[in-house]
């Protein structure tokens, strides 16, 4: 069935759009097998140009799909499920909404519907995504699980965790890319104050981040060991680390990650 499986995406915003771009660019789904609904015409336009079936009717999208991607905000999930429930029999619903559990989705759908949950991040649109997938229940057919894994693996790496760990993992993946962007923004601003044009500054910052990522991936050393290898005693990096410690860098980062995790837990309580 994989060769004829149809994908329906309800929503095509930042994250939904990243997933759609990845599956279309890699050829995992042909445009004719991709149905997309959104109330925002500008979100649909680029996919209509590629030959995807676009509309503003979520029910029609669900009706014409086998695997239904819920790419809407957490507070919209239940309304969408009520809207499409009658068109989901024997299909699979894939949620990427923070804080929305598999159990809460199942409550709104027929018993025959398989439900998967994943937490991807935006670099997926560039082939460098990090996706956390909740380990599925036994009721999820292999064809749906395999296709979903292939969707995310086609544009990055996939890690499998128990669902109760997804909220903590969001602080490491789904939200973490924004930490790096914010750090780069601060560094670029500092560079400009010190006479370096933002264009040159971002070239240095981008390549330094990419190089650090490559070292983390390929080196057998821990992050702490790699940091110590740069921060030689009496050197410039050690001076920076001492200033970071005085400013509470580690504590601020941990506080932010705790807040990210806790917000996910709050969303579970309200879903």
- What domains lie within the chain, and their CATH numbers? 2-167 (3.40.50.720), 176-270 (1.10.3730.10)
CA dihedral 174, 177, 178, 184 (to 10 degrees): 180
Q: Which long-range contacts (CB under 8 A, 24 or more apart) does 160-163 make?
A: 160/132, 160/133, 160/134, 160/135, 161/132, 161/133, 161/134, 161/135, 162/134, 162/135, 163/101, 163/102, 163/117, 163/134, 163/135
Q: What is the pLDDT of residue 269?
A: 67
Q: What is the Cα–Cα distance from 135 to 118, expressed in whole angstroms?
A: 9
pLDDT at 265: 82
What's the confidence (pLDDT) of residue 1?
46
Rounded average pLDDT per 10-residue block, the chain, 271 residues: 83 92 92 96 94 96 97 92 96 94 94 96 91 93 95 94 93 93 97 96 97 95 96 95 97 96 80 57
The pLDDT of residue 11 is 95
List of residues 6+ apart from 39 with CB closer than 8 A = 56
Q: How far apart are the first and last CA of the chain?
A: 33
Joined together, the tokens standing for residue 229 give 């290898």
List Cα–Cα distances, 219 to 95, 116, 215, 224, 238, in angstroms.
Answer: 34, 33, 5, 12, 21
Q: How far apart are CA 109 and CA 120, in angstroms?
A: 23
Q: Which of 131, 126, 87, 85 is nearest to 109 (CA)?
A: 85
Give the span between the Cα atoms of 156 and 144, in whole angstroms: 19
DSSP string, 210-242: HHHHHHHHH-SS-HHHHHHHHS-TTSHHHHHHH
| Among candidate residues 93, 89, 90, the one with its CA nearest the CA of residue 102 | 93
Q: What are phi and psi of 228, to 5 degrees?
A: -65, -30
| Radius of gyration for the alpha carbons in the chain, expressed in angstroms and rounded | 21
- pTM of the predicted structure, to 2 decimals: 0.88
Q: Which of 21, 29, 30, 26 is nearest to 71 (CA)?
A: 21
């Amino acid at each position: 069935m994989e060769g004829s499986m149809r994908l329906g995406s309800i929503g095509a915003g930042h994250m939904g759009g990243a997933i759609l771009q990845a599956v279309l660019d890699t050829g995992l789904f042909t445009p004719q097998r991709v149905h997309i609904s959104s109330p925002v015409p500008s979100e649909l336009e680029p996919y209509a140009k590629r030959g995807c079936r676009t509309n503003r009717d979520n029910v029609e999208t669900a009706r014409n799909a086998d695997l239904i991607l819920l790419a809407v905000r957490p507070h919209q999930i239940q309304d969408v499920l009520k809207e499409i429930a009658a068109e989901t029999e024997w299909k699979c619903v894939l949620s990427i909404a923070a804080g929305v559990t598999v159990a809460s989705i199942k409550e709104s759908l027929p018993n025959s519907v398989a439900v998967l949950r994943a937490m991807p991040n935006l670099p997926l649109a560039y082939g460098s995504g990090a996706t956390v997938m909740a380990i599925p229940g036994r009721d999820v057919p292999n064809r749906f699980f395999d296709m979903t894994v292939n969707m995310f693996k086609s544009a990055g790496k996939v890690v499998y965790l128990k669902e109760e760990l997804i909220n903590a993992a969001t602080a490491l993946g789904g939200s973490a890319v924004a930490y790096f962007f914010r750090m780069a923004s601060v560094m670029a601003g500092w560079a400009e104050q010190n006479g370096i044009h933002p264009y040159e500054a971002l070239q240095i910052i981008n390549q330094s981040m990419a190089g650090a990522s490559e070292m983390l991936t390929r080196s057998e050393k821990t992050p702490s060991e790699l940091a110590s290898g740069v921060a030689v005693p009496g050197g410039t990096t050690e001076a920076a680390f001492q200033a970071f410690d005085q400013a509470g860098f580690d504590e601020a980062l941990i506080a932010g990650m705790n807040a990210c995790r806790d917000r996910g837990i709050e969303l579970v309580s309200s879903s």
